[in-house]
Amino acid sequence: GVMKELLGLRDLEAKLRSRLGVKEAIVVPGDSDAFTWVKRELGRACIARMKEAVKPHDVIAVMGGTTLAAVAEMMTPDPNMETVTFVPARGGLGEQVENQANTISAQMAGKAGANYKLLHVPDQLSEETYASLIAEPGVRDILEKIKSASMVIHGIGEANTMALRRGSSEEFLHKLTEEQVVAEAFGYYFDKKGTVRYKQRTIGLQLDTLDDSKLVISVAGGASKAEAISAYMNYRPSDVLITDEEAAKRLLSM
């Protein structure tokens, strides 16, 4: 029955907390690998958690990906968000426009009735171009805003899937396999132990600046992401993990 199902999910949440060291785990029923509506359920849970935590004038930094796009899809108008500003957490990472952090941030703001700011950074830039771009006053302003974020919402990807989707070279894909790199988040690639192995060059939030002043919410589901979620949490356990039943079960059986 429904009660038993709920108890099962609460049990998974408790086990995830102790296994991963996250402060809070929220598990929705199903498997987002198999059904896209489960991704929207992750989205719904994420929006509810964001609304619980939001304060007036907050800055909320969001990353990209299909899961974050599903989160944006589930956003609804909220008077508590009128003074909130959404920003992308980092610059371009080689995603299609609908999966880019800029797009998702603008969409969340549009649906919530909040504000947003864009970060215009092309994907493949040289060191020198980055350096001069960061010096631009307009870019500096938004980078300050991003740093001041009190909430950060991001997805976690399986490393190979992400590298393929972002058009990485054969050589890079080969390295990922060779070095057992299994997770991707924020444009950083992690091995099983949670060590950062590669970092895509872009500006915005650097992972080592995710201090305790920010509420970090990770949203990732599907059994195929179990290993990636575990690897990323070895790097830094999030405040909140929002995942689905199948990812949780696979992770806990590893």
Quick check: 238 binds ligand G3H (CB under 6 A)?
no
Q: How far is the CB of 219 from ligand G3H (least distance, A)?
A: 8
CA nearest neighbour of 151 among 120, 108, 196, 194: 108
Q: How far is the CB of 124 from ligand G3H (least distance, A)?
A: 18
Q: Cβ of 156: how many Cβ atoms within 10 Å?
A: 28
Quick check: 66 binds ligand G3H (CB under 6 A)?
yes
Quick check: 107 binds ligand G3H (CB under 6 A)?
no
Report whether 104 contacts 69 (CB < 8 A).
Answer: yes
Quick check: 246 binds ligand G3H (CB under 6 A)?
no
Helix (H, G, I), strand (E, B) or coil at 90: strand
Rg of the chain, C-alpha, whole Å: 18
Q: How far is the CB of 225 from ligand G3H (least distance, A)?
A: 7
Quick check: 92 binds ligand G3H (CB under 6 A)?
no
Q: How far is the CB of 174 from ligand G3H (least distance, A)?
A: 21
Among the residue ranges 14-22, 154-162, 189-197, 206-214, the one whose residues contact ligand G3H (CB under 6 A):
154-162
Quick check: 191 binds ligand G3H (CB under 6 A)?
no
Q: How far is the CB of 183 from ligand G3H (least distance, A)?
A: 9
CA nearest neighbour of 231 among 203, 200, 206, 196: 196
Quick check: 155 binds ligand G3H (CB under 6 A)?
yes
- The H or E element spanning position 103 is helix 101-112
Q: Which of 43, 88, 94, 157 binds ligand G3H (CB under 6 A)?
A: 157
Quick check: 94 binds ligand G3H (CB under 6 A)?
no
Place of tokens 């995942």: 243
Give the Å distances, CA to CA, from 238 to 8, 22, 72, 89, 156. Answer: 22, 5, 20, 16, 11
Cβ proximity to ligand G3H, 46 vs 143, nearer residue = 46
The single-letter DSSP state of residue 187 is T
Quick check: 30 binds ligand G3H (CB under 6 A)?
no
The maximal CA–CA distance of the chain, rounded, in angstroms, is: 61
Kindly list the residues in this chain that would bind ligand G3H in the complex (CB under 6 A).
63-67, 155-157, 162, 184-185
